[in-house]
């Protein structure tokens, strides 16, 4: 059954000079607040890592990241800088099965928005980020997956899914290029449907909608965009794994392009 198309997001007007003078300090404060939250949690994760078993550490680490980001997004909304509608993801927490959460990738905020709603979520990340002072210890505690070795990455992803994890993947592989066209997607990279086939896990699609350029490619963190910054996350079709994973990848990409074009 096809869900009704939600109303189109309306881009907010550009801020006036007075509004910029008032809002830019708030934006910078929120970035500092996010940094302090990340440092505090990573200190806890660094201390907790040797004390917890891998299974317990992963559960604690993933939940800690989720609720930390949820606190940050609540603060951002209370400040008036952002409007976020991501409650549609909460229904996935009642499903104990492992599944892949596949989303389009318009901004750097996407993984943070998804993980905030899903305390069992696990991400694949650049191996270099495991040494980052703001991310590394927390990612290690949560048993996030490094992407330095494709074979080991796929094996770890399959193991996580079979253990009931919710694997967050962006099939584009990187944030959407500004020149990607009206449907707003980079070509999908192989891997997601192969992982689904090997793990026997479904792919739950998530559509991330925003008319803000903030945190997209080429937009600096400290540059004030139109306010409020609006993100809406909604659930799309769930795809079951298939032996012909390449054909499924083409259908998955076509589905995202169609849904984003219908906005």
Strands in 82-85's sheet, in edge-to-edge order, are 82-85, 229-239, 203-209, 99-103, 166-169, 121-125, 145-146
> Over the stretch 149-169, which tens digit does the pLDDT of each residue have?
899 999 999 999 999 999 999
The pLDDT tens digits for 166-178 are 999 999 999 998 7
**pLDDT score at 178:** 79
Torsion of CA 52, 53, 55, 56, to 10 degrees: -30
Cα angle 86, 87, 92; round to 5: 105
In angstroms and rounded to an integer, the radius of gyration of the C-alpha atoms of the chain is 18
223 burial (CB, 10 Å; 0-12 / 13-18 / 19+) is exposed
Quick check: 85 and 173 in contact, CB under 8 A? no
Q: Give yes or no for residue 7 having a pLDDT over 70.
A: no
| CA 94/CA 243 separation, integer angstroms | 27
For the stretch 47-98, pLDDT in tens is 999 999 999 999 999 999 999 999 999 999 998 899 999 999 999 999 999 9
| Both structure tokens of 198 | 């090997």
Q: Of 9, 166, 172, nearest to 104 (Cα)?
A: 172
C-alpha–C-alpha distance, residues 92 and 136, integer Å = 27
Residue 256 is encoded by which pair of tokens?
């995202």
| Contact (CB, 8 A) for 4 and 216 | no
Contact 230, 82 (CB under 8 A): yes
Q: What is the pLDDT of residue 83?
A: 95
pLDDT value at residue 19: 58
Q: 89: helix, coil or strand?
A: helix
Task: List domains and CATH numbers for the chain.
Answer: 17-261 (3.40.1130)
Q: Which residues contact 28 (CB under 8 A, 6 or more apart)?
A: 222
> What digits encode the pLDDT tens for the residues 97-155?
999 999 999 999 999 999 999 999 999 998 999 999 999 999 999 999 999 889 999 99
- 1 pLDDT tier (thresholds 50, 70, 90): very low
Q: What local confidence, expressed as pLDDT, does residue 35 receive?
A: 95
pTM of the model: 0.88
For the beta carbon of residue 163, count every other beta carbon within 10 angstroms: 14
Higher pLDDT, 5 or 262: 262
Q: CB within 8 A of 151, min separation 6: which ones?
A: none
Which pLDDT score is estimated for 180?
Answer: 63
Within 13 Å of residue 30, how many CA atoms lie on the same side as its CB?
Answer: 22
């Amino acid at each position: 059954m096809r869900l009704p198309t939600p109303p189109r997001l309306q881009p907010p007007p550009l801020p006036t000079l007075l509004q910029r003078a008032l809002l830019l300090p708030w934006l910078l404060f929120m970035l500092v607040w996010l940094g302090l939250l990340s440092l505090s949690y990573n200190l806890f994760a660094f201390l907790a890592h040797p004390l917890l078993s891998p299974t317990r550490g992963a559960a604690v680490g993933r939940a800690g990241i989720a609720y930390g980001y949820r606190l940050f997004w609540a603060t951002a909304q209370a400040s008036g800088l952002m409007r976020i509608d991501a409650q549609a993801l909460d229904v996935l927490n009642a499903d104990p099965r492992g599944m892949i959460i596949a989303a389009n990738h318009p901004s750097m905020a996407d993984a943070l928005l998804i993980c905030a709603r899903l305390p069992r979520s696990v991400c694949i990340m650049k191996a270099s980020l495991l040494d980052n002072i703001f991310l590394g210890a927390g990612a290690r505690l949560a048993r996030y997956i490094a992407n330095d070795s494709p074979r080991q990455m796929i094996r770890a992803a399959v193991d996580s899914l079979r253990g009931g994890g919710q694997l967050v993947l962006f099939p584009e592989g990187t944030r959407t290029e500004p020149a990607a066209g009206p449907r707003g997607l980079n070509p999908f990279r192989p891997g997601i449907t192969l992982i689904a086939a090997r793990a026997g896990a479904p792919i739950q699609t998530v559509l991330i909608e925003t008319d803000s350029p903030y945190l997209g490619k080429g937009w600096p963190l400290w540059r004030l965009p139109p306010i409020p910054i609006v993100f809406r996350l909604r659930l799309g079709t769930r795809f079951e794994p298939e032996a012909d994973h390449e054909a499924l990848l083409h259908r998955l990409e076509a589905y995202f392009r169609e849904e984003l074009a219908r906005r």
